[in-house]
């Protein structure tokens, strides 16, 4: 079964993001709630929403939004009075590379992946240049404080924002000690610019499904075909993989098919741990957790999604009927998968509840390789910084529906979840 999933898993994952816009679920309309009027907030820090694997930000993918599907969470929250950014970072890049790109996107300037990092992995030190959507980030504000941000990450985006916060506050000893000229401020530390981190369905301990991500080219091609059909263009849109640091830009007049084939057959991709596939694996997540820690001055929140139930005969976890069909094979696989190989991360039945891609304990917060503390969030008290405030699980919710929000019967329910999270962040102490 594991071998079979290696052949089909990425195809299913790719198509899941598309086909979930074409089906409705059987969730009851009685779950719909209505947002209250936005109250006076304690802070007005911008909210930065960071996508996961194969994701995208503004003005891409023929009008289909990662955050909101055919609608726009960014617009919805902006209309409520929040400042919201939805950046694009490398869809298949490592969390280190994505964090460097996110820093440049927000602050402005040329992406610097670090001289030591570039030497270790054989990539270029510099990437694209951005004007900066929030150049005053980190500067002194009008009230004498620091212009901070709230970071929200879905899926792999939750790992990426953790890496960004770690580098901002602590820098990188490897980068500081390698004798490079013009070191990026990201790597020098002592930047307390993040007020909070919220992760949604993030594989903090990795996912067993990541083992199938070893040959992505043909499946990404299918993904783009499906996107064209859903958005009504019937033309293959172009997902910019943003791999300039590997010299893998699309050439003039190069077909999309040729570009993706060239990318995913590159030795720079297949012979490196500097990519999303490794970071999303259980061992890759353990490595990341060993150096990315909860910072004492940042508020951490996590939310899990669960869309499986216990099978009466096997006692395995199987997908609920409302799960999008192309996530069901993943849910069934995770719902019975174990691994006790010495040296690997131990995976047992506690991992079986899942949302179709991520196990429940993995979404709660980092465990393997981590010393972080996870507590249950109590909305009636002021949360404690420096620990993971676990907000609980969204039942009958699969991995993608929480962000794509394409089911008309539950769209308002998930939209109000984001209203609630934004209000929670805005009421954190300055």
Check: CB of residue 61 under 8 Å from CB of residue 91: no
Distances (CA, A) of 80 to 71, 74, 184, 428: 15, 10, 35, 18
Active site residues: 155, 355, 399
Phi, psi of 394, rounded to the nearest 5 degrees: -90, 105
| Measured distance CA(115)–CA(42) in Å, rounded | 40
Q: Structure tokens of 110?
A: 């040329």
Residue 15 has pLDDT above 80, yes or no: no
Check: CB of residue 178 under 8 Å from CB of residue 116: yes
The predicted model gives 158-181 an average pLDDT of: 96
- What's the pLDDT band for 52 if we cut at 50, 70, 90? very high
Nearest to residue 322, comparing CAs of 303, 345, 305? Answer: 305
pLDDT of residue 408: 86
Q: pLDDT over 90 for what percent of the chain?
A: 67
- What's the pLDDT band for 255 if we cut at 50, 70, 90? confident
- What's the pLDDT band for 216 if we cut at 50, 70, 90? low
Residue 304 has pLDDT above 90, yes or no: yes
Average pLDDT, the chain: 86
| Measured distance CA(345)–CA(342) in Å, rounded | 8
Domains and CATH numbers, the chain: 2-26+35-403 (3.40.50.1820)
| Measured distance CA(189)–CA(62) in Å, rounded | 38
CB-facing half-sphere around the CA of 129: CA atoms within 13 A: 1
Lowest pLDDT segment from 4-13, 89-98, 289-298, 379-388 = 4-13
Check: CB of residue 305 under 8 Å from CB of residue 283: no
pLDDT of residue 184: 97
pLDDT digit string, tens, across residues 76-135: 999 999 999 999 999 989 999 999 999 999 999 999 999 999 999 999 999 999 999 999
């Amino acid at each position: 079964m594991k071998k079979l999933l290696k052949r089909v898993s990425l195809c299913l994952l790719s198509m899941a993001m598309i086909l979930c816009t074409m089906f409705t679920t059987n969730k009851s309309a009685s779950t719909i709630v209505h947002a209250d009027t936005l109250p006076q907030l304690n802070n007005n820090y911008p909210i930065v929403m960071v996508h996961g694997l194969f994701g995208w930000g503004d003005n891409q993918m023929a009008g289909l939004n990662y955050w909101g599907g055919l609608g726009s969470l960014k617009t919805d929250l902006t209309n409520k009075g929040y400042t919201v950014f939805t950046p694009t970072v490398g869809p298949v890049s490592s969390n280190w590379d994505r964090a460097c790109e996110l820093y440049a996107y927000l602050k402005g300037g040329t992406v610097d992946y670090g001289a030591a990092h570039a030497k270790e992995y054989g990539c270029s030190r510099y990437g694209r240049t951005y004007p900066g959507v929030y150049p005053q980030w980190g500067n002194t504000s009008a009230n004498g404080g620091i212009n901070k941000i709230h970071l929200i990450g879905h899926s792999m985006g939750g790992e990426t924002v953790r890496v960004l916060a770690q580098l901002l506050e602590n820098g990188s000893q490897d980068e500081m000690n390698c004798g490079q000229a013009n070191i990026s401020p990201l790597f020098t530390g002592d930047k307390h610019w993040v007020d909070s981190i919220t992760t949604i369905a993030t594989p903090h301990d990795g996912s067993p499904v990541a083992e199938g991500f070893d040959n992505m080219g043909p499946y990404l091609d299918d993904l783009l075909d499906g996107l064209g059909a859903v958005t009504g263009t019937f033309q293959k849109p172009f997902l910019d993989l943003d791999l300039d640091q590997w010299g893998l830009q699309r050439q003039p007049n190069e077909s999309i098919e040729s570009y993706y084939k060239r990318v995913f057959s590159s030795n720079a991709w297949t012979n490196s741990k500097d990519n999303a596939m490794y970071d999303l694996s259980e061992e890759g997540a353990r490595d990341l957790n060993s150096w990315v820690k909860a910072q004492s001055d940042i508020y951490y929140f996590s939310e899990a999604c669960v869309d499986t139930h216990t099978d009466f005969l096997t006692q395995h976890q199987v997908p609920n009927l409302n799960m999008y069909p192309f996530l069901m094979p993943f849910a069934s696989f995770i719902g019975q998968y174990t691994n006790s190989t010495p040296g690997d991360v131990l995976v047992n039945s506690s991992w079986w509840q899942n949302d179709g891609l991520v196990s429940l304990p993995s979404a709660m917060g980092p465990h393997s390789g981590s010393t972080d503390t996870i507590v249950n969030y109590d909305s009636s008290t002021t949360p404690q910084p420096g620990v993971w405030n676990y907000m609980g699980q969204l039942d009958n919710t699969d991995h993608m529906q929480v962000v794509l929000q394409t089911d008309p019967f539950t769209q308002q329910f998930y939209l109000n979840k984001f209203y609630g999270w934004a209000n929670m962040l805005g009421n954190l102490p300055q």
